[in-house]
Chains A and B, each alone.
Chain A
Amino acid sequence: MRFFRIIGRSIKASLKSIFRNFSLSMASITCTIITLILVSIGILLSYNVNHITKEIENELTIVILLEKNVTTEEIQATEKSLKDIANVDTIKYNSKEEIKNNLAKESETYAKIIESWEEGENPLQDSFVLTVKNVKEINETATTIKNMDHVAVVKYGESMVNELIKIFDMVKNITLVLVAALILVTAFLISNTIKITIFSRRNEIEIMRLVGTSNFVIKLPFLIEGFFIGIMGAIIPVLITIFGYDYAYNHLSTVGLNNLLNVISLVKPTEIVYYVILILFGIGALVGMFGSVRAVKKHLTI
């Protein structure tokens, strides 16, 4: 009971303080808004980059053409040694008969050519299509395969895709570092603005200490004030995230990227937005509280 009375009184005091020092509170809130918008962009960006990278990676395959005249046993042996390679994820075998049939179905031109072959003649080669677990090691894997028996040709993803992935990786890392730095900067900015409000109230704090108010009770209104500032600062970024991302998703899906590179699509808003909202409120509240406690601490020692 006593605890809740103290909390209630602290909430009252903190709201009073926010409105009494309105311009300073606004400065902290604005600062939080800017950071959280950037945090939101950062999270959405790195999340999507991650997503797109994965999609591209899934599209990357190694195609292996076997030598002509390999026997069934040799094919099986090759498949077994392919399975033994650590980086190999899935293996799909296409016999030359299957390829021939598929080609014949695909277009009339192919069908005609294939018809002109003699019965039993098949100049095509048996092949494997592999996907790998780690695209970064696709070079090494391809080299290993090339050196295996019965393997004639190894083809895999163009270097353009590899470059793209490298760039995406960089983008992701840079945004993460920037976001972390921004969060720190905001915490210090909030801490400093609250310090100014506290400075004008240091007499108040001194009196509280002299009449026997515990440090916790002195800190509480400031803690709650920081919490409110953080939450208020998160509202606009949250709205921007909800509507902005929805817009971006629909817009890019219809006109942009999707047609450009048909493997790429953004993460669905429903899959990510709630999660970002939670993070924004969480970061706002934590940064606000951290900033205010840091600011008040100095005044609580003699």
Chain B
Amino acid sequence: MEFIEFKDCTKIYKNGVTGIANANLKISKGEFVFIIGHTASGKSTLIKLLYREEKPTRGSVCVGGIDVGKLRNNKVYKLRRKLGIVFQDFKLLPKLTVYENVAYPLESYGYKSSEIRPLVLRALEQVGLKDKTRSFPHQLSGGEQQRVCIARAIVNKPKLLICDEPTGNLDPETSKEIIDVINNINQELKTTVVMATHDKEIVNRMKKRVIVIKDGLIDKDIQKGCYKE
């Protein structure tokens, strides 16, 4: 079985809007995949189906052997511990320092402080933020905040890193740095990366697999693709 598999997956929201229609998609371990498409095409919907923020209306989504749609609400945390999520708006806890933000997931899983420390420092090193551990989020630039978010996402060594427009709030130069950080994680840690974006430059520069979504349908699936049209 593939690492990620969508089978005839359809998501219709409560208000009747179709987010994703009849998606069939396979992603293997270690891949780096871009999801692109116009606004409101369904990129975020596809991403949210991966971490069970939304449930498929029909069909199924499997991630690392877990049938995500069948997961009960109070078991969702089991899926989320196996993956890291990077958001456009970072979603950091404002009252916690950088270190505490990255440590938070592990603390809530009940890890020992002595187990947590090396994992947090390793993650912060990976994103190049080792010297800002005591800062609070509001004392950081957007790019730095996004690094914290990435560090938190990879602190538990997930097999999958999910990113929804990670560079949406950043300038082109910072975006490039963030993509490099994520690419390094993909290369060095063999973490599978699924990234929704509409940043043409990034997609064209990276030459990775590109999945194009159009009005909720998977329009194209190209290896080493570019952002055209």
Contacts and interface: CB of A to CB of B under 8 A. Distances in A.
Interface in B152-169: 152, 156
> What is the predominant secondary structure among interface residues of chain A facing chain B?
helix
Contact of A207 (B51, B82, B91): B91
Interface residues of A, number: 22
A215 B93 contact: no
A298 interface: no
With most chain A CB atoms within 10 A of its CB, the pick from B82, B105, B110 is: B110
Contacts of B85: 210-211
A204 interface: yes
Contact of B77 (A9, A214, A302): A214
Contacts of A302: 52-55, 73, 76
Contacts, number: 63
Q: Would you list the 10 A-B pairs with minimal beta carbon distance, nearest first?
A: A212-B80, A2-B110, A212-B81, A213-B108, A211-B105, A214-B77, A6-B110, A212-B77, A215-B74, A207-B91
A212 B107 contact: no
A217 B107 CA distance: 10
Interface of A: 2-3, 5-6, 9, 203-204, 206-215, 217-218, 300-302
A211 B112 contact: no
Interface string B71-87: 00110111111100100
A204 B93 contact: yes
B49 to A, nearest CB: 12
Interface size of B as a range: 20 to 34
Interface of B: 51-55, 73-74, 76-82, 85, 91-93, 104-105, 107-112, 152, 156
Contacts of A208: 104, 108
Contacts of B156: 212
B107 A9 contact: yes
A212 B112 contact: no
Given A2-B110, A5-B112, A6-B110, A211 B104 contact: yes
Nearest to A203: B91
A301 B109 contact: no
Contacts of B152: 211
B110 A215 contact: no
28 contacts: A2-B111, A5-B110, A5-B111, A5-B112, A204-B93, A206-B91, A207-B91, A207-B92, A207-B93, A209-B76, A209-B80, A210-B51, A211-B104, A211-B108, A211-B152, A212-B77, A212-B81, A212-B82, A212-B109, A213-B108, A213-B109, A215-B73, A217-B108, A218-B108, A301-B73, A302-B53, A302-B55, A302-B76
A300 to B, nearest CB: 8
B166 to A, nearest CB: 14
Contacts of B81: 212
A183 B113 CA distance: 41
A217 B80 CA distance: 14
A213 B110 contact: no
A208 B91 CA distance: 10
Nearest to B155: A211
B105 to A, nearest CB: 4
Given A2-B110, A5-B112, A301-B73, A213 B105 contact: yes
Given A5-B110, A207-B91, A301-B73, A212 B105 contact: yes
